[in-house]
Amino acid sequence: MTKKEHLDLQQLKKDPSIIITKADKGNIATVLDKEWYDNKINQMLDDEEIYKRLKTSPTATTTKEVNKFINNLLESNRTTKEASFRLKITDATTPRLYGLPKLHKENIPLRPTVSFTDLLTYGLAKELSVLLKPLIGKSKYHVRNSSDFASPITHEILQTDEIMVSFDVVSLFTKVPIQLPLNIAKQRLQSDPNLSQRTGMSTSGLIKGLEICLNSTNFTFRGKHYKQVFGTAMGSPVSSVVANLVMIMKRSKLSEFLTHLNKIENSIQFTMEKEKEGCLPFLDLLVKRSPSGHLLSAVYRKPAHSYRYLNFRSEHPMQHK
């Protein structure tokens, strides 16, 4: 960058009327009007079914709860001293909320995100996510990544009365009732024959830790304290869930199946995207229907994609590159 470009950036950073942040997708830097941004966030926080304004921060209470839980694990020989030092909260700060603009969506909604590195339960949540990860992907329909999806679809042949459709969950993190993942995790942990090989924690201990993480949902925005009273914790490693489904089905069954999906859990609602001109984007792929009915795939990038990538000679971790 030139000296002038550096100076211009410094001037932008000092401008109190704008917000500079990355977009939700596409590795794009955005410059937003601060008043517009704050109004978007405040409209979201006005939803009393999901958020509650607090008079004071519950940070101290959460700190005591987490550290007591870790101490109990240590006293019962369910964890080691080294692990307890890593999981305990020693320098408590209240995480802040920010929004990432979804440039590819109509009216540019903001994705609510909590600064996960400031989460009081980040260490515990990260540990639990590693222990719970082997419980997912047991279904033959589970898709790990784009490559995993691209390979089997090449053997599919569509009939003229069949259509490709993707179903997407609306705002998953703030819509999943906490008791639902707790119940599912408990059932799968109890039937996991390899649990004792991964950890010394019992199923009840893991569920207790998970409950603490999912209920630790307080944050700040513009100096005000809030708590997310419904849904899983935004920004927590243990809340990361794949929320997309894709399938081939009869055109006549689309409305019926969408209705079925939206009746399973009232708070979890799906939107539907149909193929257009024989093409359907899914994950990072564009699935194409050939004239013979065979499925082909190509790399797909959203219209907002910037085509900016990490320099391979940079000092970023190898797994990022």
Is it the case that residue 7 has pLDDT exceeding 90?
yes
Read off the pLDDT of residues 40-55 as tens digits, 9 standing for 90 and up: 999 999 999 999 999 9
Average pLDDT of the residues of the chain: 86
Task: State the pLDDT at residue 266.
Answer: 85
Per domain, the residue ranges of the chain are: 15-299
Q: How confident is the model at residue 268 (pLDDT cuts 50, 70, 90)?
A: confident
> Which pTM does this prediction carry?
0.74
Tell me the C-alpha distance between 93 and 39, whole Å.
Answer: 25
pLDDT value of residue 236: 78
- The answer to which of 105-109, 115-119, 123-127, 182-186 has the lowest mean pLDDT is 115-119
At 204 the three-state DSSP class reads: helix
The SS3 call for residue 127 is: helix
Do residues 51 and 229 touch, judged by C-beta distance below 8 A?
Answer: yes
Residue 28's pLDDT band (boundaries 50, 70, 90)? confident
Q: What is the 3-state secondary structure (H, E, C) of 130-188?
A: HHHHHHCCCCCCCCCCHHHHHHHHCCCECCCCEEEEEEEECCCCCCCCCHHHHHHHHHH
Res 140: pLDDT: 76
Average pLDDT (210-215) is 88
Percent of all residues in the chain with a pLDDT value above 90, rounded to a whole number: 30
pLDDT for res 174 = 77
Q: What is the pLDDT of residue 205?
A: 92
Those residues whose C-beta lies under 8 Å from the C-beta of residue 97, and which sit 6 or more positions away, are 41, 112, 113, 114, 219, 220, 221, 226, 234
Q: Are 295 and 287 in contact (CB under 8 A)?
A: yes
Which tens digits make up the pLDDT trace of 54-97?
999 998 898 999 999 999 999 998 888 888 888 888 877 888 99
pLDDT level of residue 246 (50, 70, 90 thresholds): very low
Q: Which helix (H) or strand (E) holds 218?
A: strand 218-221
Decide if 149 contacts 299 (C-beta within 8 A). no
